Structure 1
Amino acid sequence: MILWFTYVQVGVAVAAGVLCVILGLVGRRPSDLTVGALALLELLLIAQIVIAVIAPVAGNPPTGSLLEYWVYLVSAALLPPAGVVWALLERSRWSTVIMGVAALAVAVMVWRMQVIWTVQVA
């Protein structure tokens, strides 16, 4: 993994999560802003998938379990679309909060992926 890209992903995930949770708690329903924040997060996760495929070939293999890393990455990539689908089906303020919780969960998962890739020893 690339450290600066991890920081960008975590920053975007936390910003999107806090934005969605705050907007949901003040009563706002899902909007283009909240769905767009999760779409941006999903684009970053798709880029991370591409990086994870290329990095070992380029000489940057993970130090931890590759299987554990990929389970985290695939799970993290599924959370934003699941949150958006939920929000579009329910269309309540709580679905906006759920999108925020999903984004915050992605932030934790991305940081854990960084730890698996660079710190852990298999």
Structure 2
Amino acid sequence: MTLDAWFVIGAVVGLASTIVCVVAAVMKKKPNDITLLALIAVELFVVAYAIGSVVRLAGGQQLAGEAWEFWGYMFTAAMLPVAGFYWAMMERTYWSNYVMSAVGITVVVMLARMAQIWYGTGAIQASAPLQLGIGL
């Protein structure tokens, strides 16, 4: 798996969101602005990644794997924060923070799989400089 800037930034955002939500849950806090904003940050990253992926594909880059699989992961990763947000709005208990914390780490795992689909599976290797790969 090639570690590009998209994966690194996504991992930071997803893990930070998970940590914020776990801390709030352990402190038995109900979902609040901070935990919901952490979840929104994950969603905004996934949307930016989708746009960046379209730009990369339009610029001539190719997926090593199947396009339907990549976009299926992308769609699912985009829907997870929405589902977590909905859950938090419907169940206003500290348990919702645990559900929201699962969203961040799950999106990180999905980003790793999307990187494998984009670059091809194999050993972990860092791309030369960590670039967004937009090709501007």
> What is the TM-score normalised by the length of structure 2?
0.83
5+ unaligned residues in a row in structure 2: which ranges? 123-136
Identify the range of structure 1 (17-26 vs 5-14) with the bigger mean alpha-carbon deviation: 17-26
Q: Is the 8 A contact 1:25 1:94 kept in 2?
A: no
Partner residue, 1:111? 112
Q: Does the residue aligned with 1:63 lie in a helix, a strand or coil?
A: coil
- Measure, in 2, the Cα distance between the counterparts of 1:2 and 1:104: 17
Deviation for aligned residue 1:120 = 3.6
Deviations 1:74-98 (A, max 9, x none): 0000000110110011000100110
- Measure, in 1, the Cα distance between the counterparts of 2:45 and 2:20: 18
Q: Is the 8 A contact 1:30 1:92 kept in 2?
A: yes
> What is the TM-score normalised by the length of structure 1?
0.92
- Measure, in 2, the Cα distance between the counterparts of 1:48 and 1:100: 20
- Measure, in 1, the Cα distance between the counterparts of 2:18 and 2:102: 6
* Structure ranking higher in helix proportion: 1
- Measure, in 2, the Cα distance between the counterparts of 1:74 and 1:80: 11
Partner residue, 1:90? 91
Q: Is the 8 A contact 1:30 1:96 kept in 2?
A: yes
Partner residue, 1:56? 57
Q: Is the 8 A contact 1:18 1:100 kept in 2?
A: yes
Deviation for aligned residue 1:2 = 8.5
Identify the range of structure 1 (58-67 vs 69-78) with the bigger mean alpha-carbon deviation: 58-67
> Equivalent residues in 2 for 1:37-76 (5 A)?
37-76=38-77
- Measure, in 2, the Cα distance between the counterparts of 1:25 and 1:94: 9
Deviation for aligned residue 1:22 = 2.4
Partner residue, 1:102? 103
- Measure, in 2, the Cα distance between the counterparts of 1:84 and 1:2: 29
5+ unaligned residues in a row in structure 1: which ranges? none
* RMSD across aligned positions (CA): 1.7
Q: Which runs of 4+ in 1 moved over 3 A?
A: none
- Measure, in 2, the Cα distance between the counterparts of 1:11 and 1:109: 14
Q: How many residues align?
A: 121
